[in-house]
Structure 1
Amino acid sequence: MPYRWSPPAETPLELQLWPHNSLPPQGFAAMILGFFLFASIPLYGLLGTVLLWGILPFMLAATAALYYALRRNARDRQILEVLTITPDMTHLTRTNPDGAVQDWESNTYWVQVALHEKGGPVPFYVTLKGKGREVEIGAFLSEDERKALFSELQDRVRAANTP
């Protein structure tokens, strides 16, 4: 799962969440090279003709567009959410792809973990509520991961409230 809890014996308890990265750098290079090679196959029959120069720019533009799209997707997935839970305070920090940081904190005693099956931007939307504000957590996770996260969050917040 693309999230990790610190060991339970550690204080404060920390949860780190990030989007799943299914295309490692080696896969990115293989994808671009494979696309370029397969897109160039029809051009071999046009070697030595004027038609090659008419089709070649489109093949190169398609390769460049694929490169840009994959790089943009990787950049947009540079999200990190860190939730810190202590008996006194719960603190959530989200670092967005553009480097902007969003913070939320509340007294752990008043924190409510909610799972919204419908009505959110994604099904089974997980939120934390406290100090008059409700914030999302893990919206980039898959539906099953959000369900598992919800039950784990409930257990950990409840355990932090128990002396």
Structure 2
Amino acid sequence: MPYQWTPDQPDRQTDWQLSLWPYRSLLRKDFVLFMGATAALVALPLISLLGTVVVWALLPFFGLMFWGLWTAINISYKRGEVLEELAVDDTTAHLIRHNPKGEKLEWHANRYWVTVHLHPKGGPVENYITLRGGDREVEIGAFLDVSERLALYGDLKRALRSDQAT
């Protein structure tokens, strides 16, 4: 799951924090392998053309394709640099969203009044999760997969229910 609880099992006796981030199917180390394999596969047909003028005509297109692929994947990485942190202590719940361009969005609410809501069909994505507390309602985990949002909803309900049990 692309989220982590600190400590692993939140309960009333301890403060807890939840960190969420988008899933990455292509890690940075795998990116290097992918680009190397792509370069090798595209260069393979060029080997038969070595020593001819045709290779010089095809080489700029190979370079342009390689540069375009590298740029597109790096733009995707930059857009996916989102981190959401929900910290809950004795009195407050504090949500911070770190956006890709460095902007931080913050939300505070009284811990006792925070509620979790699941919107199966009504939100911008299926199984949309919001936290309501104070005078605002904020989204959490909109970048997660549908099943991950369901699991997160259950975890948040249990964590906040245990907060209000005593």
What TM-score comes out, normalization by structure 2 length? 0.91
Higher mean C-alpha displacement, 96-105 vs 4-13: 4-13
CA contact (8 A) 1:14 1:83 kept: yes
Deviations 1:76-101 (A, max 9, x none): 22111110123421110111111111
User: What is the CA-CA distance between 1:123 and the residue it aligns to?
Assistant: 0.7
| Aligned-residue identity in percent | 42
Q: Which residue of structure 1 aligns with residue 45 of structure 2? A: 42
Q: Among residues 76, 80, 105, which one is paired with 2:83 in the alignment?
A: 80
State the AA in 2 paired with 1:75: K
State the AA in 2 paired with 1:89: T
Q: How do 1:50-65 residues align onto structure 2 when only pairs under 5 Å count?
A: 50-65=53-68
Deviations 1:100-151 (A, max 9, x none): 1100011122212111111322111111112221111011111111001001
Q: Among residues 31, 34, 41, which one is paired with 1:31 in the alignment?
A: 34
Q: Among residues 136, 148, 159, which one is paired with 1:156 in the alignment?
A: 159
How far apart in 1 are the matches of 2:116 and 2:64?
Answer: 48
CA RMSD of aligned residues (A): 1.5
Query: Counterpart of 2:129 in 1: which secondary structure?
Result: strand
Aligned residues: 163
Q: Which residue of structure 1 aligns with residue 4 of structure 2? A: 4
Q: Which residue of structure 2 aligns with residue 143 of structure 1? A: 146
State the AA in 2 paired with 1:159: S
Query: Counterpart of 2:34 in 1: which secondary structure?
Result: helix
State the AA in 1 paired with 2:107: W
User: What is the CA-CA distance between 1:5 and the residue it aligns to?
Assistant: 0.8
State the AA in 2 paired with 1:2: P
